[in-house]
Amino acid sequence: MADKRLGVGFIGGGFIGQFHVRSWVGVRDADIMGIVDINRDTAETAAAMARELGVGEPAIHGSITDMVADPNIDAVWIGTPNFTRIEVMEEITEAVIGGKGELTGICCEKPLGRNVAEAKEMLELARKAELLDGYLEDQLFSTSVQRGKAIIWARGAALTGRPFLARSAEEHSGPHMPWFWEGELQGGGVLNDMMCHSVEVARFLLTEPGAPRESLIPMKVTAHTSCLKWQDPHYVEHLRSISDGKLDYASRPAEDFARGLIEYRDEEGKELIVEVTTSWCFVGAGLRLSMELLGPEYSMSINSLDAGPKVFFSRNVTGEVGEDLVEKQNAEMGLMPIVADEEGEYGYTGENRHMVQSFLAGKRPEENFSDGVNVTELLMTAYMSAEQGRTIEFPPPELDTFIPAVARGQWNPNK
């Protein structure tokens, strides 16, 4: 048992901030002691949730600098939109380097940056401020992924050889806030938003337990992107209406479907394949995560919508629209799955426990900003491949300065 508790401050108390607060009931040796959000009501909501769950007594701070200066805060979690990454990180590191406060560690939500230059800047700033850094890729810490990987490697791989193919997908019916849909603000479309998870969890499943990331060498990337649903005039209108006319998917869409194939080699030169697909046009019960791991004499499969209880409501049960059964829920009637422990099943509880334990032990987390940079490099190579319609050798030249056409407002597959 650690003799010190970690005081954690959240930057951003919106959708993901509140997911983290809920996950905290499964996190030991740390309390949520501060929240900053440019929207004070949102900060109040997240703070009230923390108090109600008994996971901290957060102060609401007027600025990031004030929160860093609070002696109750030892580490901060960044959960603000993608387009704020650098400004938020600069304010944190300026406060630390300027001696306004002391921090042990910092965690940042996915994606680490909208492109490789931003992701590398995040890593560089963390190093300058001498902060331990954690990259918040929750899916690696999902209870199903952790248990499935351990058993596959201990039984199947130990006796018959390593796995050679990992498949991974994340799909739902579209993001909840307008900024996610805007290529420039978010960094891309669904490829940037969700393939970051799939690429990393598939790489993790294929990596021998305890082996470093470098034991898998990315060789080539092939990808495809499309806008399958949201350029239809009906949906163009819908997006316009939820964004005060700002989103125009008729002329400035982002991809709502992406697939990718990454060819790796292991240390013995054996070929390994990662196959990923992701979309914002899956109208099923709700968010669906699926993973598969295949080897010579075994396989594993995970489907987050198949893991828990199912309920059935007849057409006479006309309750309110909600997300009480599953994230991104699309219906309240018929046969529906319940994801009973979303925080554990998606990995938030496990990732936050890992980050807290690493910071308390003075160690760099196993999933850190260097991993966030590597993921961004793979995603940007995938955009290059989709734009050029060919397989790209990794790493391609000019990766560090590449910005996808969709993030420059210059991607329109129907023109």
Tell me the one-letter amino acid at 235.
Y
Strands (E), 156-314: 165-171, 216-226, 257-266, 271-279, 288-295, 298-303, 310-313
Listed in sequence order, the residues at least 6 apart from 97 whose beta carbon sits closer than 8 Å to its beta carbon are: 128, 129
Chain centre to alpha carbon of residue 114? 13
Check residue 217 for interaction with ligand NAD (CB under 6 A). no
Determine which residue in the list 6, 8, 11, 131 makes contact with ligand NAD, applying CB under 6 A.
Answer: 11
| DSSP alpha helix (H) spans, 290-364 | 342-346, 348-360
**Minimum distance from residue 64 beta carbon to ligand NAD (Å):** 7
Cβ nearer to ligand NAD, comparing 230 with 346: 346
Under rule CB under 6 A, residue 105 binds ligand NAD: no
Residue 235 burial class via C-beta count within 10 angstroms: exposed 0-12, middle 13-18, buried 19 and up: middle
Please give the Cα distance from 243 to 69 (Å, whole number).
36
Task: Pick one of 5, 69, 72, 84: the residue that binds ligand NAD (CB under 6 A).
Answer: 84
- Binding part of the chain for ligand NAD, among 8-16, 21-29, 154-162, 360-368 by CB under 6 A, reads 8-16
What is the torsion angle, in degrees rounded to the nearest 10, for the CA atoms of residue 107, residue 110, residue 114 and residue 120?
40
Q: Do residues 409 and 188 make contact, with C-beta atoms less than 8 angstroms apart? A: no
Select from 387, 411, 380, 405 the least CA-distant residue to 119.
380
Least distance CB 107 / ligand NAD (angstroms): 11
Instruction: Kindly state the smallest distance separating residue 180's Cβ from ligand NAD, in Å.
Output: 7
Tell me which stretch binds ligand NAD (CB under 6 A): 14-22, 123-131, 310-318, 328-336. 14-22
Q: Work out which of 2, 4, 15, 147 binds ligand NAD, going by CB under 6 A.
A: 15
Q: Which of residues 336-355 bind ligand NAD (CB under 6 A)?
A: none
Question: Which residue's structure tokens are 């056409």?
Answer: 405
Element (H, E) at 6: strand 6-11
Q: How many residues does the chain have?
A: 415
Of 27, 75, 88, 191, which one interacts with ligand NAD (CB under 6 A)?
88
Least distance in Å: CB of 258 to ligand NAD?
16
| C-beta of 156 vs 193, nearer to ligand NAD | 193
Q: Does 145 bind ligand NAD (CB under 6 A)?
A: no
* Residue labelled with tokens 């990718």: 260
Residue nearest to ligand NAD according to CB distances in the complex: 14
Give the range of 6-14, 264-272, 292-300, 377-385 binding ligand NAD by CB under 6 A. 6-14
Under rule CB under 6 A, residue 255 binds ligand NAD: no
Q: Which is nearer to ligand NAD, 31 or 37 (CB)?
A: 37
Query: Does position 14 bind ligand NAD by CB under 6 A?
Result: yes
- Piece in contact with ligand NAD (CB under 6 A), picked from 10-18, 96-104, 212-220, 268-276: 10-18
For the chain, state the CA radius of gyration.
21
Compose the 38-77 pattern: x for residues touching ligand NAD by CB under 6 A, - for all others. Answer: xx--x-----------------------------------
Cβ pair 276, 224 in contact under 8 A = no
Residue 355's alpha-carbon distances to 5, 37, 119, 264, in angstroms, are 13, 22, 19, 28
DSSP string over 89-147: HHHHHHHHHTTS---SEEEEESPS-SSHHHHHHHHHHHHHTT-EEEEE-GGGG-HHHHH
Number of residues that bind ligand NAD (CB under 6 A): 22
309: exposed, middle or buried (Cβ count in 10 Å: 0-12, 13-18, 19+): exposed
The contact mask relative to ligand NAD for 16-45 (x = CB under 6 A, - = no) is: xx------------------xxxx--x---
Q: Report the site for ligand NAD in 354-383 (rule: CB under 6 A).
A: none
CB 165 within 8 A of CB 294: yes
187 near ligand NAD, rule: CB under 6 A: no
Among 61, 66, 89, 110, binds ligand NAD (CB under 6 A): 110
Stretch that binds ligand NAD, among 79-87, 217-225, 277-285, 291-299 (CB under 6 A): 79-87
By CB under 6 A, name the binding residues for ligand NAD.
11-17, 36-39, 42, 79-82, 84, 88, 109-110, 138, 177
